[in-house]
Amino acid sequence: MYSEKVMEHFRNPRNVGEIPDADGIGEVGNPVCGDMMTFYIKVKDGVLTDVKFKTFGCGAAIAVSSMVSELAKGKTIEEALQITNDQVARELGGLPPNKLHCSNLGADALHAAIADYLRKQKEKDKKSAECHCPYCHKPLPLGVNFCQPCGVAIALCPKCKKPLPKNAEICPECGVNINS
Ligand code: FES
């Protein structure tokens, strides 16, 4: 019923496990059979340097997860996003028709992990772009009016509470007129 390749991945799944400090985690479940796949990714300079998975399910689901992890490791985010469930099934030498829709969710789980990573990145970028000391440019928590590293008191916008550049009359962040 299963191809040799499926059996081989099922017996020797690659990259099984969890990445404790994963940059992205994606989980998909099949409500029909209750199988679950969780993918963990580590990303450096846009490349998936590590991919691991934990799958609770049948042999096909495990073989699919294993194949996806192999295909994705070392790929850039853009390349990994192009991995499809169909491609995974082909690489495995086909899947039995009754398992095709139910077990073949590995690419979806991988894409969910990438989406999680991208969302976290965005949040991080937003946070770090939030406030900076206008003198030393080090990050400053929102609402703090004293920069510890350079020891200078900072004027904050009365409306958005972001640091104001020296002698500013208009807040560059929210546009409020400081003197009115
Ligand atoms: Fe394994 Fe459905 S029985 S994925």
Q: Which of 109, 127, 145 is the last residue of a domain?
A: 127
User: How many angstroms does the Cα of residue 27 sit away from the middle of ligand 1?
Assistant: 15
- The pLDDT value recorded for residue 63 is 96
Alpha helices by DSSP H, the chain: 4-11, 59-72, 77-81, 85-91, 97-103, 106-130
- The pLDDT value recorded for residue 128 is 59
- CATH number where 102 lies: 3.90.1010.10
- The pLDDT value recorded for residue 173 is 81
Select the more confidently predicted residue: 173 or 114: 114
For residues 89 and 27, membership in a common domain is answered with: yes
pLDDT tens by residue, 57-100? 999 999 999 999 999 999 999 999 999 999 999 999 999 988 88
For residues 33 and 101, membership in a common domain is answered with: yes
As a whole number of angstroms, the distance between CA 162 and CA 141 comes to 9
For residues 21 and 95, membership in a common domain is answered with: yes
Atom of ligand 1 nearest to the CA of 35: 4
For residues 54 and 110, membership in a common domain is answered with: yes
Tokens of 158: 């009365």
Taking CA atoms only, the protein residue closest to ligand 1 atom 4 is: 103
For residues 179 and 97, membership in a common domain is answered with: no
- The pLDDT value recorded for residue 129 is 62
- Domain span including residue 142: 131-180
As a whole number of angstroms, the distance between CA 25 and CA 109 comes to 8
User: Angle 108-112-110 (CA atoms, 0-180°, nearest 5)?
Assistant: 55
Select the more confidently predicted residue: 129 or 81: 81
Select the more confidently predicted residue: 126 or 4: 4
For residues 15 and 42, membership in a common domain is answered with: yes
Per-residue confidence band for 140, with pLDDT thresholds at 50, 70 and 90: confident
- Of 58, 102, 136, 174, which is the active-site residue? 102
For residues 114 and 158, membership in a common domain is answered with: no
As a whole number of angstroms, the distance between CA 176 and CA 155 comes to 14
Per-residue confidence band for 16, with pLDDT thresholds at 50, 70 and 90: very high
For residues 102 and 138, membership in a common domain is answered with: no
Within 8 A by CB and 6+ apart from 43, the residues are: 23, 24, 49, 77, 117
For residues 156 and 106, membership in a common domain is answered with: no
Ligand 1 test: best mutation among 30, 56, 85, 95, most atoms within 8 Å of CB?
A: 30
For residues 110 and 164, membership in a common domain is answered with: no
Contact assessment for residue 24 and residue 109, using Cβ atoms and an 8 Å cutoff: no
pLDDT tens by residue, 88-97? 999 999 999 8
Task: Say how many domains are in the chain.
Answer: 2
For residues 142 and 114, membership in a common domain is answered with: no
DSSP helix/strand/coil, 87: helix
Question: Which range has the top average pLDDT, 67-76, 146-155, 170-179?
Answer: 67-76
For residues 19 and 73, membership in a common domain is answered with: yes
Mean pLDDT for 100-115 is 92
Residue 1 pLDDT greater than 90, yes or no: no
Residue 169 pLDDT greater than 80, yes or no: yes
